[in-house]
Structure 1
Amino acid sequence: MQSKSLKSTLSFDDLIHHHGSAKVLAVDDNQKNIQVIGQLLKNTNWCSLSVCLESEKAIKLASKIHPDIILLDLHMPNLNGIEVLKELNKKDILKTSTVLFLTADREIENRLEGLSLGCADYIQKPFNSEEFIIKLKYHIKMRLYEKEILNTLKNTKNILDNINQAIFSINKSGEIINPISKHSNEIFGPIVKPGHKIEGFLKDKFQFSQTEISSIVNKLLDSFKESKIHWTKIQNTLPTKYLFHANEGQEKVLKIKYSSVWNDQTLENIIFYFYDITDKEQKEDDVTKYSLSQISSLS
């Protein structure tokens, strides 16, 4: 089973359609620059523009409206752009807003400081209209794409919390990542947490030798370096049943299926689906034993 990533399937127009016009806050003490920005965005249907001429008021306004993008002048009186950025960081505004600095300054030190504090990009003054629009649309797309991912994860978590299967994913480092189904923790306990290694999970919970575990882990991790065709071949060599050490010494038989998440030709995640088939296995075993006993009685 393979699924496309959101990034490869949602266009800029799709994101605007799903989330509405992006909120853009322009902060510059120069009225002419604000007017230029207003003219550039005048006839767009993909953003709504708010403006502010004072840095202190801009911080309050950003806290109130939670813009998707903040176009922030680097050199302003009272608080300059770097100082405003620090205040935005303190208020956790950068968790939901992307900051782009507007500046005629070509000093690399100022740019590096801004980038280290969370500024995503710079737009050079005087504005080149084509560059301005391209950069702004790109960062709007990234911000709305992030919203889409968060919404998808939230919806996925709601589904996973109500599904009677153990489901989780691993990344290319072999680390377990979200989303993790609620049933995963009920079956396996606290070892199924983001950041835990799949190798440790297999050692702790299943009856595999170290050689078998190393083989499984190597196959999984090698898949991230290979093609979709390679993944299909590897998938067919992975175990489909696991004998699991449950609580109080019980043993359960779990059936497993694997799924892959791709971004174009790059494997991003491998998803594990565990099904408890202990009762089914027991019934089949009982039927086999009964059949053998019947055959023996006839001989």
Structure 2
Amino acid sequence: MHNQLILIVDDNPTNLKILSQTLTSAGFQLAIATNGEEALEEVMEELPELILLDVKMPKIDGFETCRRLKANPKAQDIPIIFMTALSETIDKVKGLSLGAVDYITKPFDEQDVLARVRVHLRLRAAQKQIIAQEKLASLGTITAGVAHELRNPLNFVINYAQSSIDSLNELFVNIQENPQLEPQKIINQLQEVIQDSQAVYEHGERASQIIESMMQLARSEPGEYQCINLNDLLPQALKLAYHSFRAKHLQFLMTIHTQFDSNLEPIEAIASDLHRAFINIIDNSCYALYLKFLEEQHGNTNFSPTLSLTTKNQESYIEIKIHDNGIGIQPDTIANVFTPFFTTKPPEQGMGLGLSLTHDIIVLQHGGSIQLDTKWKQYTEFTLTLPKIQQEN
């Protein structure tokens, strides 16, 4: 717990002195701000692990400071503990409703302050660990998808390269055995080598494009917003999620329909995070289709697993629809699909954080929306919206 940075925001020198002595003696590093504006600047310079925030301050008060911090994607997950002399329940409720995790009351009790700080730092550490595990699971999905995507062109490269070697060896033997070999026969075999070499080049280029697309995602630093076109990002997520799923369920095949708006305008987003969100939804669709596929196998029906993906330009936002004709979601579980740790899948399929993280990425991080329409045994459709880049007048 040593060396964790805590930001104290208070305009009272006495309070700052008491809190500084208490926290530094416990091994914490401190940053100090005397008003809300300074606090916002401090957070942008270096993200603290926790913020102690006074309610009553000059310029902007603690409530407004908290609201702005929670609206900032880089700072929204930092635990905030309000400090207040107010005893009214309504003020405490207001602070918690704005996203604060706790409050401490003035005058400060040293042991109470340390206990609350340590509890919320431990909770934050546990949350980070769980999210990291979920991201590793998502990375596993991406890795499996990339491996599958690369396998096909590399198989072609190997086969055509072997064919070229065989043709050249055959030509070499023929010339050795018959130095007067007809030129036309030599030309025919060389043409075969040229064709095979061209195929090697084309499939090598395909593999290179796959690697480059993943490198572009890798170069997108966490928290780095970029101007992106969803028509480029969605097909990558679709291929990787589907091929990863098929790597685990070889007998599963589905029909894919895409309808991308050719006039789609760009958005400002964190590409790697959106990519992860799309993979989470598509992976869920594949799982729903697979469950129905297994169920329908025993009924001798003509079920055809189908996933549809569309994008559409709207006035102020981009609309994305992901529709499958899979097993659907049971009515009594619909309300919990975005709840952390809720899952109907077996334990080996994940911890139930995929759709919860997807909701946070789309709604909290990118200011969009996500809606669910589903009917048990028939279909599920996710409708996502993401705001366009605002044009300056």
- Name the TM-score class by shorter chain: 0.5 to 0.7
Residues 195 and 111 (structure 1), Cα distance of their counterparts in 2 relative to 1, 3 Å cut: farther
Match of 1:29 in 2: 11
In the alignment, structure 1 residue 73 sits paired with structure 2 residue 54: yes
Q: Which of 266, 270, 284 does residue 347 from structure 2 map onto?
A: 270
In the alignment, structure 1 residue 87 sits paired with structure 2 residue 68: yes
Q: Which of 77, 82, 95 does residue 101 from structure 1 map onto?
A: 82
Give the secondary structure class of the aligned counterpart of 2:24.
coil
Give the unaligned 5+ runs of structure 2.
149-240, 257-279, 307-343, 351-393
| AA matched with 1:100 | I
CA distance in 2, matches of 1:135, 1:194: 39
The Cα RMSD (Å) is: 3.6
Residue pairs, 1:103-142, within 5 angstroms: 103-142=84-123
Residues 192 and 35 (structure 1), Cα distance of their counterparts in 2 relative to 1, 3 Å cut: closer
Residues 200 and 101 (structure 1), Cα distance of their counterparts in 2 relative to 1, 3 Å cut: same
In the alignment, structure 1 residue 155 sits paired with structure 2 residue 136: yes
Identity of aligned residues (%): 23
User: By how many angstroms is 1:183 displaced?
Assistant: 0.8
| AA matched with 1:75 | K
Give the secondary structure class of the aligned counterpart of 1:95.
coil
Instruction: State the structure with more CA Rg.
Output: 2
Residues 195 and 81 (structure 1), Cα distance of their counterparts in 2 relative to 1, 3 Å cut: farther
In the alignment, structure 1 residue 183 sits paired with structure 2 residue 244: yes
Higher strand proportion (structure 1 or 2): 1
1:202, 1:208 within 8 Å by CA — same for their partners in 2?
no
User: By how many angstroms is 1:103 displaced?
Assistant: 0.6
Residue pairs, 1:230-249, within 5 angstroms: none
User: By how many angstroms is 1:29 displaced?
Assistant: 0.3
User: By how many angstroms is 1:156 displaced?
Assistant: 3.2
2:22, 2:110 within 8 Å by CA — same for their partners in 1?
yes
1:73, 1:101 within 8 Å by CA — same for their partners in 2?
yes
Residues 204 and 77 (structure 1), Cα distance of their counterparts in 2 relative to 1, 3 Å cut: same
In the alignment, structure 1 residue 40 sits paired with structure 2 residue 22: yes
Q: Deviations over 1:22-44 (max 9, x none)?
A: 22100000011011011111222
Q: Deviations over 1:166-213 (max 9, x none)?
A: 9xxxxxxxxxxxxx7961167566896466696664124544558xxx
Residues 272 and 35 (structure 1), Cα distance of their counterparts in 2 relative to 1, 3 Å cut: closer
Residues 181 and 98 (structure 1), Cα distance of their counterparts in 2 relative to 1, 3 Å cut: farther
CA distance in 1, matches of 2:65, 2:50: 14
CA distance in 2, matches of 1:128, 1:75: 19
May I ask how many residue pairs the two structures share in their alignment? 189
Residues 111 and 144 (structure 1), Cα distance of their counterparts in 2 relative to 1, 3 Å cut: same
Q: Which of 194, 200, 203 does residue 292 from structure 2 map onto?
A: 203
Residues 182 and 104 (structure 1), Cα distance of their counterparts in 2 relative to 1, 3 Å cut: farther
User: By how many angstroms is 1:139 displaced?
Assistant: 0.6
| AA matched with 2:347 | I
User: By how many angstroms is 1:73 displaced?
Assistant: 0.2
CA distance in 2, matches of 1:269, 1:98: 32
Give the secondary structure class of the aligned counterpart of 1:66.
coil
Q: Which of 33, 49, 61 does residue 30 from structure 2 map onto?
A: 49
After the TM superposition, which of the residue ranges 188-197 and 48-57 deviates more from structure 2?
188-197
1:94, 1:118 within 8 Å by CA — same for their partners in 2?
no
CA distance in 1, matches of 2:124, 2:114: 15
CA distance in 2, matches of 1:54, 1:123: 18
1:161, 1:181 within 8 Å by CA — same for their partners in 2?
no
1:157, 1:181 within 8 Å by CA — same for their partners in 2?
no
Residues 41 and 272 (structure 1), Cα distance of their counterparts in 2 relative to 1, 3 Å cut: closer
Match of 1:262 in 2: none
Give the secondary structure class of the aligned counterpart of 1:29.
coil
Residues 98 and 268 (structure 1), Cα distance of their counterparts in 2 relative to 1, 3 Å cut: farther
Residues 60 and 193 (structure 1), Cα distance of their counterparts in 2 relative to 1, 3 Å cut: same
User: By how many angstroms is 1:92 displaced?
Assistant: 2.8
| AA matched with 1:101 | F
Give the secondary structure class of the aligned counterpart of 1:126.
coil
| AA matched with 1:270 | P
CA distance in 2, matches of 1:155, 1:26: 33
Residues 109 and 197 (structure 1), Cα distance of their counterparts in 2 relative to 1, 3 Å cut: farther
Residue pairs, 1:8-23, within 5 angstroms: 16=1, 21-23=3-5
| AA matched with 1:203 | K
Give the secondary structure class of the aligned counterpart of 2:86.
coil
Match of 1:13 in 2: none
User: By how many angstroms is 1:63 displaced?
Assistant: 2.0
1:25, 1:50 within 8 Å by CA — same for their partners in 2?
yes
